[in-house]
Structure 1
Amino acid sequence: MSSTAALMPLAARGARPLAGRVRVPGDKSISHRALILGALAVGRTTVTGLLEGEDVLATAQAMRLLGATVTRTGPGAWTVEGVGVGGFAAPPETLDFGNSGTGCRLVMGAVAGSPVTAMFDGDASLRRRPMRRILDPILKMGATVVQSTEGDRLPVMLAGARDPLPIEYTTPVPSAQVKSAVLLAGLSAPGHTVVIESEATRDHTEKMLAHFGADVTVVPDGPHGRRITLVGQPELHGADVVVPADPSSAAFPLVAALLVPGSDVILDNVMTNPLRTGLITTLREMGASIEEVARREDGGEAMADLRVRASDLVGVEVPPDRAPAMIDEYPVLAVAAAFATGRTVMRGLKELRVKESDRLAATADLLRVNGVTVTIDGDDMIVEGLGAGRGLPPGGGLVASHMDHRIAMSALVMGLASEKPVSVDDAAFIATSFPGFVETMRGLGADIG
């Protein structure tokens, strides 16, 4: 998982109108959580629509090494025989999460509530990402860092608590990963574990904990925040989980359909949880034609089919409090902004600096190398759009992916509508979140190769 591989350069060039109906891979956040909670439950969990990308497969392997039985029964179909809350076994080898920050951080929380010791590691990109924000609260709950790299970066050896303590924890930054790690550790603690967040972040962990039988209460806290209370030491039971299509993956064909003239695309079964749809909200403010049809719900998660038609976009100002609902989508939003009329200002993007790459800098570089004027002002990004008479973005650039799947896909989307093809130095990491991306886009009519 952490081994190096040959570079996989790709280029995208101006396409005929995109058309067709596709289902992008299952939601990555739901897929990780289904495997972890299935492993912490008693009995069998069945999962359909699981994202079979490298990130999620790393979490599946980690659950096996921690003692759960995890079996693939068909495309996207998996079963998990759980070990119960606090029932993890000491893994016989390192838990290698490859490029997956979500898998690594959530499993740290789950291990923190079990009396086992585990070594956590990942690829070169994941080794650069901060783990202190996860370690701070779980150490308060009784876990111990036995070994770590300078700055509390991977590899980290973590000893879970024999007698976990419940805590009340206010997250220092809006982070669903931090919140989820605390709640997962809190499953093994007596009493109430409480997480307070000043900005509401994606709530998949709370919804799925309830789906597996935990007692979770969520109430407002302040103008934008929430207070989440978990009653500890539940007996989670195996459950059926239907994984909707990932809105973060849907973002790429969605934006491509908006930018390529004449396009008309339907994206099936996309999650429409309001804490994940900041991109759709923003694009609609910019004038995008995005229609929700066949709305439905499963396991507490809303979903719908999205019909997307090519649209003339205008620049907008994106408020900082929207960032948690679209933190992974800013690179492709920046690409959309390059084609819009006028200026787009995206505020409050500090979290982009600690993603798979410094995603804020990488996004700016992506645009600049393709002839778009972009400014970074503190934690804000300002894109000068080239729409309405100013022509298309020139394109023609070679984009450095920085081992970041979302930068690579955003660059390829840009190439489909710019004057000249756009190339990316390495598209191999796209498989971490969107296996089959190139084939999916080609199926809609995209010229990528």
Structure 2
Amino acid sequence: MNAHSAPTPATAGKSGPLRGQIRAPGDKSVSHRALIFGLLSCGTTEIGGLLEGADVLATARACAALGAKVDRLGEGHWRVQGVGVGALLNPTETLDFGNSGTGARLMMGVVAGHPVTARFDGDASLRKRPMKRVLDPLALVGARVLEGAEGGRLPLVLEGAREPLPVTFETPVPSAQVKSAVLLAGLAAPGETTVIEREATRDHTEAMLAYFGADVRVVPEGAHGRRITLVGRPELTPAKVMVPSDPSSAAFPLVAALLVKGSKLAIDGVMANPLRNGLVVTLREMGARIETLDERREGGEAVEDLVVQFSELTGVDVPAERAPSMIDEYPILAVAAAYARGVTRMRGLSELKVKESDRLAAVADMLRAAGVTFAIEGDDLIVEGRGPGSVPGGGTVTTHMDHRIAMSGLVLGLAAEAGMTVDDVAFIATSFPDFVPMMRRLGAEIA
């Protein structure tokens, strides 16, 4: 999404019951990685259910710039003819990741392990986001930043290692992106690359490494952590990937159904990875009526169908150690908390300050605009719920170019007395291009 496009405002008004059956878009994390592993495999990888949002399409373009042949065969159906580990081409154009921190950071890991030089850039929002946490461990592998903005921010030029070194690295903060970047760099290094994390983070990279034939071992480390060891220089085998539905995207219609009286919604094929299901766990603790049907596995990931109904929610205390399994869902959880009875305390949200926007500040502004009482104490967000249907609303949500704040603001308005206006819904296209039309089809009042 071009940072200079004219904003696209939208207003969500108090809605009648939401009804229907939907499938949320393909998981963004798995979509990025399916393309990248296609690039790093020798041969043809077929992908079904790929999320065709702006973020993932930026990764597809970067894979093509690094030597892969990338073709769209139909809706969500893509084919990647890869070059294999160690055989990337020098990109002639800038790798522009738009709004996608995940794409940029993962691809930095890929470039770091190869003797190529690439220029990374993104939109105004991505240029503000920290890259140093990824670049520091990649420097240990042998990569160098030749030019870059202050604090390791974009735009920057990264020179990959001629002779990449295997490293043992302990992540300073829980971050699947940092872990993944180190493992992707380690693919091209001889010997074993090890990442130690004190808090387990989403494990899509490890699952896909194994699925594509790499030798990767995962063992517990400490109370909540893990040690991941990868044997470098594998010959990755092309594989067919069916991308499951994104739990972070499914979260928005799911919470809308919980909040709008009389609603009942079936949501098909949602990823049920235990390192990604913190929101559903929390909502069930709050009293949400969420039924699980048909648990199965697709593309190496656990998947389930959900049936969700309007529920009277009660405030809860959300422990800090749950944050890695729901880090992208806190804005929509704050919306659910606004309609719950009693106080919800979400602990340990420091990571929200370095997302697409300072998401903690953006959530606070959104709650204030809706007339909801809240407090921020350190890294905790405390929301005083007003009960079902009793949020005043009537304000305007400033999205700060953040797709999740935009969708959360619309869901907030669907059950508010006076609705809510969102200043710019254009950025929703990065993760859920069909969100507004789909919500309208279910009965949502969005103008």
Which category of TM-score, normalised to the shorter sequence, fits these structures?
over 0.9
Identity of aligned residues (%): 67
Q: Is the 8 A contact 1:2 1:96 kept in 2?
A: no
**Superposition pairs for residues 375-394 of structure 1, below 5 Å?**
375-387=375-387, 392-394=390-392
Q: Give the SS at the match of 1:67.
A: coil
Matched, 1:17 2:53: no
C-alpha displacement of 1:237: 1.2
User: Equivalents in 1 of 2:6, 2:96: separation in Å?
Assistant: 20
Residue type matched to 2:286 in 1? M
Q: Could you list the runs of 5+ residues in structure 2 that have no partner in the other structure?
A: none
C-alpha displacement of 1:2: 4.5
C-alpha displacement of 1:87: 1.2
Matched, 1:258 2:258: yes
Q: Is the 8 A contact 1:24 1:245 kept in 2?
A: yes
TM-score, with length taken from structure 1:
0.99
Indicate how the Cα distance of structure 1 residues 427 and 222 shifts in structure 2: closer, same or farther if over 3 A, else same.
same
Residue 406 of structure 2 aligns with which residue? 408
Q: Is the 8 A contact 1:398 1:425 kept in 2?
A: yes
C-alpha displacement of 1:3: 4.8
Matched, 1:52 2:90: no
Residue 71 of structure 1 aligns with which residue? 71
C-alpha displacement of 1:300: 2.0
C-alpha displacement of 1:398: 0.5
User: Equivalents in 1 of 2:178, 2:432: separation in Å?
Assistant: 24
Residue 173 of structure 2 aligns with which residue? 173
Residue 424 of structure 1 aligns with which residue? 422
C-alpha displacement of 1:424: 0.5
Matched, 1:302 2:302: yes
Q: CA RMSD in A?
A: 0.7
Q: Give the SS at the match of 2:151.
A: coil
Residue 141 of structure 1 aligns with which residue? 141
Matched, 1:243 2:243: yes
Residue 437 of structure 2 aligns with which residue? 439
Residue type matched to 2:237 in 1? H
Q: Could you list the runs of 5+ residues in structure 1 that have no partner in the other structure?
A: none
Residues 73-96 of structure 1 show CA distances to partners (whole Å, capped at 9, x for unaligned) of 000000000010021111111000
Residue type matched to 1:338 in 2? A
C-alpha displacement of 1:164: 0.3
Residue type matched to 1:97 in 2? F
Residue 182 of structure 2 aligns with which residue? 182
**Superposition pairs for residues 365-380 of structure 1, below 5 Å?**
365-380=365-380
Residues 380-436 of structure 1 show CA distances to partners (whole Å, capped at 9, x for unaligned) of 000000016xx6110001010000000000000000001011000000000000011
C-alpha displacement of 1:225: 0.2
**Superposition pairs for residues 255-334 of structure 1, below 5 Å?**
255-334=255-334
TM-score, with length taken from structure 2:
0.99
Q: Is the 8 A contact 2:252 2:408 kept in 1?
A: yes
Residues 59-79 of structure 1 show CA distances to partners (whole Å, capped at 9, x for unaligned) of 000001111000000000000
C-alpha displacement of 1:285: 0.2
Q: Is the 8 A contact 2:352 2:358 kept in 1?
A: yes
Residues 107-158 of structure 1 show CA distances to partners (whole Å, capped at 9, x for unaligned) of 0000101100000000000000000000010000000100010111000100
Matched, 1:84 2:84: yes
Q: Is the 8 A contact 2:259 2:415 kept in 1?
A: yes
**Superposition pairs for residues 352-363 of structure 1, below 5 Å?**
352-363=352-363
Q: Give the SS at the match of 2:341.
A: coil
Q: Is the 8 A contact 1:2 1:122 kept in 2?
A: no
User: Equivalents in 1 of 2:440, 2:218: separation in Å?
Assistant: 43
User: Equivalents in 2 of 1:314, 1:287: separation in Å?
Assistant: 7
Q: Is the 8 A contact 1:10 1:426 kept in 2?
A: yes
User: Equivalents in 2 of 1:87, 1:429: separation in Å?
Assistant: 35
Q: Is the 8 A contact 2:39 2:82 kept in 1?
A: yes
User: Equivalents in 2 of 1:417, 1:339: separation in Å?
Assistant: 9
User: Equivalents in 2 of 1:442, 1:208: separation in Å?
Assistant: 35
Residue 448 of structure 1 aligns with which residue? 446
**Superposition pairs for residues 188-267 of structure 1, below 5 Å?**
188-267=188-267
Residues 265-297 of structure 1 show CA distances to partners (whole Å, capped at 9, x for unaligned) of 000100000000000000000000111101110
User: Equivalents in 2 of 1:387, 1:336: separation in Å?
Assistant: 10
Residue type matched to 2:415 in 1? A
Residue type matched to 2:310 in 1? A
Residue 117 of structure 1 aligns with which residue? 117
Residues 239-287 of structure 1 show CA distances to partners (whole Å, capped at 9, x for unaligned) of 1000000000000000000000111000010000000000000000000
Indicate how the Cα distance of structure 1 residues 292 and 200 shifts in structure 2: closer, same or farther if over 3 A, else same.
same
Q: Is the 8 A contact 1:394 1:418 kept in 2?
A: yes
C-alpha displacement of 1:6: 1.0
C-alpha displacement of 1:299: 2.5
Q: Is the 8 A contact 2:3 2:124 kept in 1?
A: no
User: Equivalents in 2 of 1:357, 1:140: separation in Å?
Assistant: 29
User: Equivalents in 2 of 1:440, 1:222: separation in Å?
Assistant: 44
User: Equivalents in 1 of 2:197, 2:441: separation in Å?
Assistant: 41
User: Equivalents in 1 of 2:431, 2:3: separation in Å?
Assistant: 18
**Superposition pairs for residues 142-161 of structure 1, below 5 Å?**
142-161=142-161
Q: Is the 8 A contact 2:110 2:185 kept in 1?
A: yes
Q: Give the SS at the match of 1:32.
A: helix
User: Equivalents in 2 of 1:149, 1:284: separation in Å?
Assistant: 44
Q: Give the SS at the match of 2:61.
A: helix
Q: Give the SS at the match of 2:207.
A: helix
C-alpha displacement of 1:320: 0.2
User: Equivalents in 1 of 2:257, 2:78: separation in Å?
Assistant: 32
C-alpha displacement of 1:12: 0.4
Residue type matched to 1:448 in 2? I
